[in-house]
Amino acid sequence: MKSHRQPDSIWYPFTYSEDIQDDPPVVMDHGAGVYLYDKQGRGYLDAIGSWWVSILGHNHPEITDAVKAQADKLEHVMMAGFVSEPTLRTAELLSGMLPKGLSRIFFSDDGSTAVEVALKVALQYWALKGENRSEFVGLAGAYHGDTLGAMAVGMIPQYHTLFHQRFRKAHFANSPYCYRCPCGLEKQTCNAECMDSLEDIFRERGESIAACIFEPLVQGAAGMRVYPVKVLKRIFALCSKYGILTIADEVAVGFGRTGKLFACEHVKDVPDLMCLAKGLTGGYLPLSATVVKEHIYREFCGAFPSERIFHHGHSFTGNPLASAAAQATLTIIDRERIPQSLEGTMAHFRNALTSLSEFDIVGDIRSAGMIGAVELVKNRATKERLPAESRLAHRIAQRALDLGLLVRPLGDVLYFMPAYVITEDVIDNMFYLARVAIRQTLNEHNAT
Ligand code: PLP
């Protein structure tokens, strides 16, 4: 049910202004587990964890209590020269979970900022070592946030084209987009050839490159492009061969999402820098962390010159309320052995997702851990894309909302990324509602 009397002064993110006029945003009032409830008390199954942040469910009693208790004591203290107890405890807990070697944690506000910090650390690291390396390498289809620096290393045409001329120099290797393999190969015969393009860049520009940034295992915003572990292995191997720093952007996939605590743990390699955000606070408050290996941090040690200071720090860095949420979240993850304890639920989720293959418009089904996605096409045999103006996925999402299912597609990709507290029954219901929404939309589409 839509709310009326909304101020028209709000400018919404990633949203056509016309869509807002036709369909004003639903005013959510409260949440519980995987459900959100609007002001009229109508429930919506949040199939995407509100942009992937809600990993333990909405209004988790333990996290709520932790934030409340902290609010009674101290809401904020600046982080240069001061720190709060929950920030210390969060650092301790996180240190115990990180892949071996990632020993230093720099807190900031959100995923984009965690990436900005990683890029700046890499630039300053090389400057401190006396090497002139100021270029970055990313992958086509990458999304690392939408501040200018983060956009410079991302490459999704609809988000980035407008701004591209203004960016710092970045180079892009192929996207590991298996359904539409850039090398025209089938999965069975793939040997990570898509990363030949990465090697070409390293061969040509290697000595100017500060770091290579990538989303391990899944390119999220590009449409949940799940790619094989061998591709991730090859990225690490090439970076190691050419002496390039690795930045693993785990903002979307960190904290259990792909079935390992960190997606990088699907391989043996540990990145030089890793970006974390979203699920870090269970989706309660903005907080992020850029974690780095000791050899990176060492370059910043010492009193002089002032270039050894890392010149970054936002007003809300290490905010105590956000840290209290993070402390509670990490405590729960640790105690409940997430993600190992989710193996059964994840297997059920993967199977249930395949029920969407009954529709001819479903061209590809991809999944990793508790991420599931289907790419909609005009023709399954030829993989011909849907005409952009059909906005079919968008219409399916609108229909789903009427049925009480909250999904928000990425282009022609419908995806599911619920909180881990979802039960098998609710997973079945989620895909049942998705099927009804698709069927109804197609019936309407065919009738016009
Ligand atoms: N990196 C990745 C991989 C993301 O998926 C996102 C957001 O979706 C970001 C960075 C940016 O995070 P934020 O929206 O918190 O700035």
How far, in Å, from the CA of 251 to the mean position of ligand 1?
A: 6
Q: What average pLDDT does this structure show over 36-57?
A: 97
pLDDT tens profile 90-144: 999 999 999 999 999 999 999 999 999 999 999 999 999 999 999 999 999 999 9
Can you give the pLDDT at residue 1?
45
Please give all residues whose beta carbon lies within 6 A of any atom in ligand 1, as ranges: 110-112, 115, 143-145, 215, 220-221, 249, 251-252, 277
Task: Give percent above pLDDT 70 in the chain.
Answer: 97
The atom of ligand 1 lying closest to the CA of 112 is 16
Mean pLDDT across the chain: 95
- Please say if the pLDDT value at position 71 is more than 80: yes
pLDDT at 3 over 50: no
Sheet holding 288-293, edge to edge: 102-108, 288-293, 273-276, 245-249, 209-214, 135-139, 170-173
Query: What is the average per-residue pLDDT within 162-167?
Result: 69
The answer on pLDDT for 302 being more than 60 is yes
Does the predicted TM-score (pTM) go above 0.95? yes
What is the DSSP code string of 4-62? ----TT---TT--HHHHHHSPPP-EEEEEBTEEEETT--EEEETTHHHHT-SS-BT-HH
- What pLDDT, on a 0 to 100 scale, did the predictor assign at position 445? 77
49 C-alpha to ligand 1 centroid (Å):
14
Q: Is the pLDDT of residue 78 over 50?
A: yes
Which of 52, 143, 371, 417, when mutated, tests ligand 1's pocket best, judged by the most ligand atoms within 8 Å of its CB? 143
Compute the CA torsion angle 113, 306, 76, 68 (nearest 10 deg): 50
Q: Highest mean pLDDT: which of 13-27, 192-206, 302-316?
A: 192-206
Judge whether residue 352 has pLDDT over 90. Answer: yes
pLDDT band at 327 (very low <50, low <70, confident <90, very high): very high
- The predicted pLDDT at position 448 comes to 66
**Length of the chain as a residue count:** 448
Give pLDDT tens digits for 207-234: 999 999 999 999 999 999 999 999 999 9
Ramachandran angles phi, psi of 351, nearest 5°: -65, -45
Whether residue 330 is predicted with pLDDT greater than 50 in this model: the reply is: yes
- pLDDT tier for residue 8 given thresholds of 50, 70 and 90: confident
- The pLDDT of residue 245: 98
Q: Which helix (H) or strand (E) holds 414?
A: strand 413-416
Q: Which of 374, 373, 350 is nearest to 363 (CA)?
A: 374
**What strand order describes the sheet that includes 43-46?**
28-32, 35-38, 43-46, 405-406
How close is the Cα of 306 to the center of ligand 1, in Å?
31
pLDDT computed for residue 22 by the predictor: 80
* CA pair distance 57, 316, nearest whole angstrom: 24
Average pLDDT (288-315) is 91
Place of tokens 């993850």: 333
Burial of 186 (C-beta count, 10 Å sphere; 0-12/13-18/19+): exposed
pLDDT level of residue 165 (50, 70, 90 thresholds): low
Is the pLDDT higher at 168 or at 61? Answer: 61
Contact 90, 326 (CB under 8 A): yes
447 pLDDT more than 90: no
Euclidean distance between CA atoms 276 and 251, whole angstroms: 4
Mutation test of ligand 1: which of 53, 144, 257 has the most ligand atoms closer than 8 Å to its C-beta?
Answer: 144
Exposure b/e, 303-336, CB count within 10 A at least 16 = b: eeeeeeeeeebeebbbbbbbbbbbbbbbbbbeee
pLDDT for the residue numbered 23: 82
Q: How far apart are CA 219 and CA 249, in angstroms?
A: 10
Sign of the CA dihedral running 343, 344, 349, 352:
positive
Mean pLDDT of 393-422: 97
Average pLDDT over residues 43-65: 98
